[in-house]
Amino acid sequence: MTTTHDAKLTSRVLWVDRFLTLIRITFIVVISVGLLAFVAQQINPQNPFAQWANPDATGLTAPQFKGLLVTGLAQGAMYGLIALGYSMVYGVLGFINFAHGEVFMVGAMSGMITSNKLADAGLWEDAFLLCLLFIVVTSILLSTATAVIMERVAYRPLRGAPRLIPLITSIGVSFFLQNLSVVLLGPGAKSYPTLPSWLSQKRSLVGFQIEGTKLLVLLTAAVSMAGLWFLVERTRTGKAMRAVAEDKEIAALMGIDVNRTIVKTFAVGGAMAGVAGILWGILFRSVIHTTGFLPGIKAFSAAVVGGIGNLGGAMAGGLSLGAAEATAPLVLLEPLGVDGVSQLRDAVAFAVLIFVLLVRPSGLFGERLSEDERA
Amino acid sequence: MPLLELRGINTHYGAVHILKDVDLAIFPGELVCLLGGNASGKSTTLKTLLGMVTPTTGDVVLDGEIVTHHSTSYRVERGVTMVPENRRLFKRLSVKENLELGAYLRTDRDGIANDLERVFEMFPRVKERLNQKSGTLSGGEQQMVAVGRALMSDPRVLLMDEPSMGLAPALVQTNFELIQQIHEEGVAIFIVEQNANMALSIADRGWVLQTGKVVLDDSAEALLANPELRASYLGESGSV
C-alpha cells in the first residue's frame, strides 16, 4: 500500500520536472534561435538563415539599438527604485507589500499637482532645476507619509498573523489608494507641464545619443541608489535595519526599537517610490490612478529577478528587466517573424520573470534561505 | 541589595499558567544558575527578566527600580543582557557589525573601543575574523562572537541561555571556563541550563524550576548533594 503510494508520488514529481524542463528548453531555444537570427540579419538580411527565420526582417542599426537600450535602462531604473521598496519590506517583514505600486502613484500624482502649480506661477520653465528639486522633495514627503501610515494602520495590527494575511491586506490597501485618488483628483489622466526644450534635447555621451530627460532619470536613480546604499551599509540606522531583517528578537535584545526600525524601512522604501513617481512623470508626462499597477507589478518582478531582499539585486533586476523589455521584442522576436512585437513589451517582462525563476529560483543575486532562517 | 530580582512572578500565555510565584534574586558579581527540564519555564523566566514577556502579576526589579513594564532596551541600557540559546548571531552581518550591535545603545566611544579591545584579548580569533560574515564561522567561533557581543553592552549581569547547547563536548568545557573568566571580572552571571552538573560545578547558588515553580533554592554544593536532584537531573552516575 505504502509503496504504491510512494511510487505514484515520485512519478508525479517526475512529470512536473519534465514539464518544467520542457519550458526551460523552449525558453532557451527561443532565445538562442532569436539571437542567431538577429545576428544573421545583422550580417546580411539576405542570407539563408535570416531569410528562413523572417523574410521581411531588416535588422537594426546601431543607433536604433542604442536608443532602445537607453530607453529600457531609464525605465528599468524606475523599476529598480520601486523594487527597492518591495525588497526592503520583504526583508524586514517577509511579505510582499502589493500596495507599494500605489505609493509610487501617490508620488507621481503629487508631482503632477506641484509641477502644474509651479507652471501656473510661471516658474517651471525659468527655474526648472529648482522646481524639480521642490517637486521631488514634496513627492518624497507625501509618499513616505503614505507608506508610514499604511504600515501603522494596515500592517502593524497584523504583525503576528500568518504571512498571507498582510499580503491580502496589501491588495486591499492598493485598491483603497487607487479609489482615493479617483475621489480626490478625478478619474481622468492628468498631465505634467511641458518640459523646457533644453532638457528634451539629445546629447552624445560615450557614443550614445541620450535625451536629456532619460539622462536625468538615470542620474537621479543613481544618486538615490548611492544614498540608499550609504544609509543601509554605513549608518547605525542601516545596521539596525539589517539586524531587524535577520532576527527581530535578538535585534530587540541589542536595544534596537524594532517597530521604529520597521517604520523607517517603510519610509525609505516610500521615499524611493516617490522619486520614481517624479521620474515617471518627467518621462511620460501623464498619470492616472492606475499608473501604479503595471510598474508596481514589474518592479515586484524586478525585485524577484534580482533576488528578493537584496537591494543591489533589486536595482540590477530593475535595470535588466527594463533593458530586456525594451530590446528583446526587436532583438529576439522580430528576427523570428513574430507580428506586432512592440506590443509585446509586457509579455517579455513577465517572461523574463518566469525564465529567471525557472533557472535560478532564488533570483540572480539572491541567497538561498531555508524556511527556519526566513521565519 | 540584589542587582536583578523577580518578586512573586506569575506569567500566563493565554489561559496557560507558565510561571507560578517565582522569586529569585541575583546579587552583584555572583554566579548563579537556574536548572530545569524542557517546558519548565526557563525561557519564560529569561524573557521576563529581559522584558520580552510581561508577567500577569509580580515585579521585575533592576537595581532597586521596578522595571516590570519597561522595554528591553531600557533594561539593556542599565546593564542586563543575554547570550541567547544557539548563539543567534546576525549571520549575514560581519563579525565587526555583530560586535558593534552589542554596543548599539552606548554613546561613550572610548568605552566602546576599550571593550572591543577587551573582547579581542579574550578571543584573539575573533579579531582575525573581524570582516568575515559571522555565518561563515565555526560553532566555537560563533560562541565567542555571541559572548563578545553581549560583553560589548558593558553588562553588570549576563544571562546565559543554555550555553552548552549545540556545542561539542570539548567546547562545553572551554565555554564554562570562559564564563568563569568573565565572572572573575566582576560581572554577575545567571546561567540557565539543562546540563546541571556542569552548571553547578561553577555556580555559587542555584534554583531548580519544575513546571513553572521554584522547587529547590540552595547553594551549589547542597544542590549537587541533593538526592532528589541527583535522581531527576544528574542521573545515577552524576552526569547528564
Domain locations in chain B as residue ranges = 1-79+155-240, 87-153
**Domain assignment of residue A5, yes or no:** yes
Each residue's pLDDT tens digit, A134-153: 999 999 999 999 999 999 99
Specify whether A195 is located in the same domain as A126.
Answer: yes
- Three-state secondary structure along chain A? CHHHHHHHHHHHHHHHHHHHHHHHHHHHHHHHHHHHHHHHHHHCCCCHHHHHHCCCCCCCCHHHHHHHHHHHHHHHHHHHHHHHHHHHHHHHHCCCCCCHHHHHHHHHHHHHHHHHHHHHCCCCCCCHHHHHHHHHHHHHHHHHHHHHHHHHHHHHHHCCCCCHHHHHHHHHHHHHHHHHHHHHHCCCCEECCCCCHHHHCEEEECCEEEEHHHHHHHHHHHHHHHHHHHHHHHCHHHHHHHHHHHCHHHHHHCCCCHHHHHHHHHHHHHHHHHHHHHHHHHHHCEECCCCCHHHHHHHHHHHHHHCCCCHHHHHHHHHHHHHHHHHHHHHHHHHHCCCCHHHHHHHHHHHHHHHHHHHCCCCCCCCCCCHHHHC
**Domain assignment of residue A371, yes or no:** no
Specify whether A99 is located in the same domain as A193.
Answer: yes
Q: What is the pTM of this model?
A: 0.87
Each residue's pLDDT tens digit, A171-228: 999 999 999 999 999 999 999 999 988 888 888 877 788 888 999 999 999 999 999 9
Specify whether A51 is located in the same domain as A118.
Answer: no
Specify whether A22 is located in the same domain as A120.
Answer: no
The answer to whether B155 faces chain A, any CB pair under 8 Å, is no
B21 conformational bin, left if phi > 0, alpha if psi -120 to 50, beta if neither:
left
Distance from C-alpha of A209 to C-alpha of A152, rounded to nearest angstrom: 46
- Closest CA in chain B for residue A256: B73
Total number of domains in chain A: 2
Specify whether A72 is located in the same domain as A161.
Answer: yes
**Domain assignment of residue A29, yes or no:** yes
Of A243, A227, A362, A374, nearest to A303 by C-alpha is: A362
Each residue's pLDDT tens digit, A226-247: 999 999 999 999 999 999 999 9
The answer to whether A252 faces chain B, any CB pair under 8 Å, is yes
Q: Are B82 and B150 in contact (CB under 8 A)?
A: yes
CB-nearest to B72 from A240, A253, A367 is A253
Q: Do A246 and B77 touch (CB under 8 A)?
A: no
Q: Which architecture does CATH list for B1-79+155-240? A: 3-Layer(aba) Sandwich (3.40)
Rounded to an integer, the average pLDDT of B26-45 is 91
Residue B5 predicted with pLDDT over 60: yes
Each residue's pLDDT tens digit, B51-105: 999 999 999 999 999 999 999 999 999 999 999 988 899 999 999 999 999 999 9
Specify whether A50 is located in the same domain as A75.
Answer: no
Distance from C-alpha of A167 to C-alpha of A196, rounded to nearest angstrom: 42
Specify whether A54 is located in the same domain as A76.
Answer: no
Distance from C-alpha of B77 to C-alpha of A254, rounded to nearest angstrom: 9
Residue A357 predicted with pLDDT over 90: no
Specify whether A176 is located in the same domain as A263.
Answer: yes
Specify whether A37 is located in the same domain as A86.
Answer: no
**Domain assignment of residue A362, yes or no:** no
Specify whether A135 is located in the same domain as A103.
Answer: yes
Specify whether A252 is located in the same domain as A123.
Answer: yes
Q: Do B93 and A252 touch (CB under 8 A)?
A: no
- Average confidence score pLDDT of chain B: 90
Q: Do B73 and A247 touch (CB under 8 A)?
A: no
Each residue's pLDDT tens digit, A5-15: 555 555 566 88
Q: Could you tell me the residue range of the domain that residue A33 belongs to?
A: 1-59
The answer to whether A255 faces chain B, any CB pair under 8 Å, is yes
Specify whether A293 is located in the same domain as A157.
Answer: yes
Residue A255: give its domain's CATH number.
1.10.3470
- Chain B positions in Cβ-Cβ contact with residue A256 (cut-off 8 Å): 73, 101, 104
CB-nearest to A250 from B73, B77, B88 is B88
Rounded to an integer, the average pLDDT of B28-50 is 92
Rounded to an integer, the average pLDDT of B144-162 is 94
Predicted complex ipTM: 0.89
Distance (Å) of CA A292 to CA A276, A281, B124: 11, 12, 53
B86 conformational bin, left if phi > 0, alpha if psi -120 to 50, beta if neither:
left
Q: Do B93 and A256 touch (CB under 8 A)?
A: no
Going by their DSSP bridges, the two strands B188-193 and B157-161 should be labelled as: parallel
